[in-house]
Structure 1
């Protein structure tokens, strides 16, 4: 009868009548359930239950305080499936039985007890508890596997982001530190405006890919030391659409979706004078508005072949002046509070003013 039940299941019996304890104890041990603890003192039994692990409780209702109802109330926070309670009572009226079930009992047995019935009800409760624990363990293992897989995917996304970003920087005169700073500063600004942590983490990985489209721009234009002609500038501006085409995929991930959005729109301007679509104000995706500020500030703070690095005072003043023209004015206000933290990201060779 109990071949599928763990013989080590911890069974507790609380009954103030010693003969009932001996009868139930002997009955359970006779079928191989030897891990049985009995209490004739209900208070002592309750203390033990609250301090130890157990798998099944056979509980009398009519006892000196605490009675069975009080014990059920004290056990109301337990997992009822994994730690079932069978009330064993001579109280035969439906009201008391219903009350016991309402207070958390799983089943009941009437006194005088019928031993075959006791064994059947014990078996059913133990099988259910055992199945519940197995399911919990399986779910726990699945959760651990999902968490591990999530970490692995995040690591893969980060590696892809870094590789693509470096590929773009090798075609330009940017350094690897520049793209890292864009990711960090974009995440800082996103966090400062209250965006969810997961979105901020995705921004950290997506923002460095904002110029991936420069892979498609010829070196003569991309690496030209002087100012671009109108025709060359038109070709250069195509990098936004190229970047979007590289990153956008109908079956893509949240990372590549966000990166594609940023690549396409990070040269849009708040007043509508940007490219490639001439979006205005909140028509521009938030992610692109964030990266626009971070990218420009970092770019003017770092030296290029055709310019020197701007000092802190001049760079900060420019960002403030461009609020409402180039940049989202709300984001500029928040960005101003982050100047010191962003400057600590270490712009190489930048003048401090």
Structure 2
């Protein structure tokens, strides 16, 4: 499958140094990419990018106008499946942060380490493909709901499986984790007294809460240590990216809820969350439910960098955060069904 993706991909290279341009072009072709478009004239390259479809851009920074920064600004509203790797001798922190802030997905230094370059190209093309697959699924979901509601769950699970495969390259979370979020959110919604249609909607929408991470560069998403302030700002963009991926121009309650959850699941009851600093009931109910479920599941799950918290400690933390991180009403509801949530987590554990 990967070889087919590579053959069908379009990679654009812009570099004003002819030797570097030839090296990049030949290297990308060597891994099986058939469609490689190269430009030494950055202006001509930008015009081509704005008028054609493409999957990945290898972009030099230091060029005659328009330079790499200018091109990134012009491409700021591009589709999120169109990936950009900056290729430059400008390896200082300020240049990197500027590129990432302007929307670059990755950065590699000159002189080039060719094995590293090719791995990054492969990874970004895989992410581009996954984003396009998600878009295809998103466009068909509403039609399926209208015509065959009973088939919605099967269709949506295929999206989840695709995203789970992509997540193996992007984060330490598992496919089971996102399924558990949907199930626990549905349990809380049921205990809260929501209508069965709403409960099923949040069961399907909640697993997509972190889909925006597909647009976050690896070196930030997978960084083992603490993020810097600029890196944290970039990481927090996943909420808006997820909303942009899932929102739909037509009326679709499922996609509307999924986009809403993606945008607001990091808001906090006391107003100290992001991206908008909403407070209390300003935060949509579905996002308040998923925020609690996501944190609890993360606490109870082992990760490469931590052990799973004991049941008593995780539940005590949720109770302590009532009125701070979490809606106090939802905490009371969760306290009454913690045993059911634990049974579900055991049934859908990562070892299964």
Residue in structure 1 matched with residue 305 of structure 2 by the alignment: 306
> Do 2:160 and 2:175's aligned partners in 1 also have CA atoms closer than 8 Å?
no
SS at match of 2:255: helix
CA shift, 1:222, in A, is 0.8
Aligned to 1:276: 275
Q: Quickly say closer, same or farther: Cα 1:184–1:153, change in 2 above 3 A.
A: closer
Alpha-carbon RMSD: 2.1
Distance 1:349 1:205 in 2: 19
Q: CA 1:170/1:233 → structure 2, altered by over 3 Å: closer, same or farther?
A: same
Query: For the pair shown, which has the larger CA radius of gyration, 1 or 2?
Result: 1
Instruction: Quote the residue 1:329 is aligned against.
Output: 328
> Residue 161 of structure 2 contacts residue 175 of structure 2 at CA under 8 Å; is this kept in 1?
no
| TM-aligned CA deviation for residue 232 of structure 1 | 1.4
> Which whole-Å CA distance do the structure 1 matches of 2:329 and 2:201 have between them?
22
Does 2:162 align with 1:159?
Answer: no
Q: CA offsets per residue over residues 35-63 of structure 1, 9 Å max, x none? A: xxxxxxxxxxxxxxxxxxxxxxxxxxxxx
Greater fraction helix:
2
Unpaired segments ≥5 residues, structure 2: 1-144
| Residue 324 of structure 1: how far off its partner (Å) | 0.1
Residue 275 (structure 1) shift? 0.2
Tell me the alpha carbon deviations over residues 269-315 of structure 1, each in whole angstroms, 9 at most, x when there is no partner.
Answer: 00000000000000000000000000000001112222221111110
Task: Determine the C-alpha separation between the residues in 2 that align with 1:335 and 1:189.
Answer: 6
Hey, what's the Cα distance between the residues in 2 that align with 1:147 and 1:286? 25
Counterparts of 1:273 and 1:225, CA distance in 2? 24
The two structures have a TM-score, normalised by structure 2, of 0.55
Q: What is the CA–CA distance in structure 2 between the aligned matches of 1:221 and 1:266, rounded to whole Å?
A: 20
Deviation, structure 1 residue 170: 4.5
Cα offset for 1:259? 0.4
Shift of the alpha carbon at 1:166?
5.2
SS of equivalent residue, structure 2 residue 162: helix
Count residues in correspondence: 205
1:214 partner SS = helix
* Contact 1:167-1:212 within 8 A present in 2 as well: no
Q: More deviation in 222-231 or 197-206?
A: 222-231
2:253 aligned with 1:254: yes
Q: Cα offset for 1:164?
A: 3.8
Distance 1:198 1:165 in 2: 25
Distance in 1 (CA, whole Å) between partners of 2:261 and 2:161 is 16
Q: Partners in 2 of 1:184 and 1:169 — Cα distance?
A: 21
Shift of 1:155: 3.2
Q: 1:181–1:345: 8 Å Cα contact kept in structure 2? A: yes
Which segments of 5 or more consecutive residues in structure 1 lack a partner in the other structure? 1-145
- Give the CA deviation at 1:151: 1.5
Change (3 A) 1:342 1:166: farther
The question of 1:220 aligning with 2:237 is answered no
Secondary structure of the structure 2 residue equivalent to 1:191: helix
Aligned to 1:188: 187
Shift of 1:330: 0.2
Correspondence 1:288 to 2:280: no
SS class of match (1:305)? coil
Q: Distance in 1 between matches of 2:175 and 2:337?
A: 22
1:156 deviates by 2.3
Quote the Cα distance in structure 2 between the aligned partners of 1:147 and 1:223.
39
